[in-house]
A and B are shown apart, each in its own frame.
Chain A
Amino acid sequence: MSYEPLVTEFLGVTLKNPVLAASGTVGFGREYETLASLSKLGGICSKGLTLNGSLGNDGPRIYETPAGLLNSIGLENPGVGRFIKEELPFMRSLGCAVIANLGGHSEIEYIKGASLLNDAEIDILELNISCPNILDGGMAFGIDPKSAADITKKVKAKSRHPLLVKLTPNAPDLIAVAAACEEAGADGLSLVNTFLGMAIDTKLRKPVFNNVYAGLSGPAIFPIALRMVHEVCKAVSIPVAGIGGIAAKEDALSFLMAGASVVQIGSMTFAAPDTMAKLVDELYDYCKLNALENIRQIVGIL
């Protein structure tokens, strides 16, 4: 029998390993295919999609911070239709699970987008109700338990794909939002999206970003993300994808021990493109060294 300690069942999908590329950090895979050895991963999440596409935000979009970065991309994307036609075949060819991340500005946009994705061969639909960088919709749906549950229920009713709901750490009561999404039929939760932050150009005496606030990611947020994942895993019984500032093996192991079934790596890929592939090897070695039959044996031990 072959030794496959990293094979992970997640939302009914068999993943080679629990290491996924987070939405927005590898585009649709082309640019990082070789640099980040994407075919080695458990899966990749597409750049956040909206029904009709978007040109994204004006003005500066990236601002480095200590051990992290603020971004205000604003969901620049080609739209669901063009994604299915032009990007999905390539993503499929990578040989790992494909997760389509769907954002929206209104309920109807989410529902239409999810319906359109029923025609597409994706493995999981990640519902993005946590983007802080679009002015209407996005994170607004994920702040409040009732609206989060509402959109989750409606999309779940329309979609044939397993539904992963991506939560925002900016919700005043994240645990209530998580529980409401579980109750509404989410098959899993992914958290955290970025934290709202701010940067000021003190020379110009004005905010760096046109939207004033932007999303903070990177190793700087890791301990807070870990605490939130731990809290949510205690409160719900559906699987969780842990996201937030993973830079090294210890960070990924921490998320798993805190209860996450899989992890998503984001910003660190920018800093060191081989981070995810290296992590897959390191987790394999960890299992071997610790005589684990499967990595799931450490999931949620804390």
Chain B
Amino acid sequence: MAVISENIEIAKGIFKMCLSGAPLGEAGQFLMLKQPDSLDPFLARPLSYCNIDKNSGTVTLVYQTIGKGTKAFSKLKQGSLMQAVGPCGRGFPLVSGNAVLIGGGIGTAPLLLLAHALRESQPERHIKVHLGFREEAYLIKEFGQYADEVSVDIGGIITDAADFSQAAAYYACGPEPMLKAAALKAEKAGAELYISLEKNMACGVGACFGCTCKTKGGNKRICKDGPVFNALEVHDVL
């Protein structure tokens, strides 16, 4: 059982939760989180790692209060227990060379650990981050720790800002229309793009077939075979 060491609102409706004792994982992977013994909300919620401090073993998650589950999370106090199953799924591949990260809204959260991992695995690479928000920006300072350039857009279309002709690999996480736009631009430019998908999940471990998506290689389970996919595999069905 993990313990909540911090759970604070960092922007309107956006919370940062820190856990100690949770399983550690890679960028793009996620935890299935649930308040122990609660039957309502019933299911665990998948939240991607936003950052991990390997020294202290602290996991940071950033989430938006959208439904019943995340609203209940936001009310939990420091010291509360949290059931954390994971690490779940397959994360982002760390492609060698310069990287461009594109995040929309709460989809920016998993990209922070990705920027961290990319920087650690290849300190000299150039990392550019495009972050788009509807109203209020968050995590900007944190991205600055790892990225060479961070551009922020509020209310616009973030994919318009990204140039798909310069980097070795592109990574995107955010709303489906954003991912679709990024996938189309990447395909046109012949760029390598990895996207992180989400869907309602029951088990989170690949057993229930509740979150499958159609890909060129047949049905894939977002929770087990993803959530990160090469955009070329899935973009035609997004």
Q: Do A and B come from one complex?
A: yes
> Which residues of A are at the interface with B, using a C-beta cutoff of 8 A?
24-27, 30-32, 35, 47, 55-56, 60-69, 71, 73, 76, 218-219, 247, 267, 269-273
A64 to B199, CA, bound (A): 12
Q: Could you pull out 14 A-B pairs where Cβ atoms are within 8 angstroms?
A: A27-B207, A27-B209, A30-B206, A31-B224, A35-B205, A61-B200, A62-B211, A69-B42, A76-B212, A219-B42, A270-B204, A271-B34, A271-B44, A272-B34
Is B139 at the interface (CB under 8 A from chain A)?
Answer: no
> Told that A32-B207, A62-B210, A270-B204 touch, could you supply 7 new A-B pairs with CB distance under 8 A?
A35-B205, A47-B209, A62-B208, A64-B200, A67-B42, A247-B39, A267-B42
Interface of B is mostly: loop
B207/A26 in contact, CB under 8 A: yes
Residues of A near B232 (CB, < 8 A) are none
Interface residues of B in 102-160 (CB under 8 A from A): none
Size bin of chain B's contact surface: 20 to 34
A61 to B207, CA, bound (A): 13
A270/B83 in contact, CB under 8 A: no
Most buried by A among B201, B203, B204, B218: B203
A25 to B212, CA, bound (A): 15
Q: Which 6 A-B pairs have the closest CB atoms?
A: A62-B210, A27-B207, A31-B207, A67-B39, A31-B205, A62-B200
A25/B40 in contact, CB under 8 A: no
B219/A56 in contact, CB under 8 A: yes
Is B3 at the interface (CB under 8 A from chain A)?
Answer: no
Residues of A near B212 (CB, < 8 A) are 56, 61, 76
Q: How far is the CB of B27 from chain A (nearest CB, A)?
A: 22
- Which single member of B42, B83, B208 contacts A73 (CB below 8 Å)? B208
Q: How far is the CB of A200 from chain B (nearest CB, A)?
A: 15
B41/A64 in contact, CB under 8 A: yes
- Which single member of A35, A61, A247, A272 contacts B209 (CB below 8 Å)? A61
Residues of A near B204 (CB, < 8 A) are 270
Known: A67-B42, A270-B43. A25 touches B200 (CB 8 A): no
